[in-house]
């Protein structure tokens, strides 16, 4: 049961922090579970016949790419948990303005406000992995 009293909770309020922490822990669990499954898949690849190698290499490559996405997410989530501990959570790292609670609820590991995120995404567009940045998280 949530009592918002019609006012958005501040990002650094004790209750809000507990909520964000819980969301982040859930995400961390999710990313770790994904990594666990994929590590298992990669480990099994060691026992396959030689003739399957070409296909395996492709699958393995895909798995490693997916692992990287989970790793990146895990890293962002861990960083956000650190910021919760140090009290820096919910503040844009670029312009130092508070990140709106709505954004934190959608992207609890957000480091930047929407404005800065968009500017950074624009800067990154000429780099190799725009798909990664296009993801909502
Ligand atoms: Zn900003």
CB 20 within 8 A of CB 109: no
pLDDT at 6: 44
95 alpha carbon – ligand 1 mean position (Å): 4
What mean pLDDT comes out for the span 53-68? 73
CA of 88 to the centre of ligand 1 (A): 13
> What's the burial of 112, exposed, middle or buried (CB within 10 Å: 0-12/13-18/19+)?
buried
Rounded average pLDDT over 87-113 = 94
Q: How far apart are CA 37 and CA 67, in angstroms?
A: 10
Per-residue model confidence (pLDDT) at position 50: 58
- Tell me how far the alpha carbon of residue 130 lies from the centroid of ligand 1, in angstroms: 20
Could you tell me what percent of the chain has a pLDDT over 90?
45
Nearest to 115 by CA among 127, 103, 105: 103
Domains, in order of start, for the chain: 14-134 (1.20.120.910)
Q: How far is the CA of 98 from the centre of ligand 1 (A)?
A: 8
Cβ pair 71, 35 in contact under 8 A: yes
Residue 10 DSSP class:
P
Distance 87 CA to ligand 1 centre (A): 17
Å from CA of 3 to ligand 1 middle? 28
| 77 touches 24 (CB < 8 A) | yes
């Amino acid at each position: 049961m949530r009592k918002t009293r019609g006012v958005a909770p501040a990002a650094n309020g004790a209750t809000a922090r507990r909520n964000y922490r819980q969301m982040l822990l859930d995400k961390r669990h999710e990313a770790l579970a994904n990594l666990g499954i994929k590590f298992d898949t990669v480990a099994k690849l060691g026992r396959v016949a030689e003739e399957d190698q070409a296909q395996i290499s492709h699958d393995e490559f895909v798995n490693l790419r997916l692992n990287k996405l989970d790793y990146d997410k895990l890293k962002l989530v861990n960083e956000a948990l650190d910021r919760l501990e140090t009290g820096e959570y919910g503040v844009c790292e670029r312009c130092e303005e508070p990140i709106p609670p709505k954004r934190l609820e959608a992207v609890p590991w957000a480091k930047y406000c929407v404005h800065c995120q968009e500017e950074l995404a624009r800067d990154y567009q000429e780099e190799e992995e725009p798909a990664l940045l296009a993801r909502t998280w």
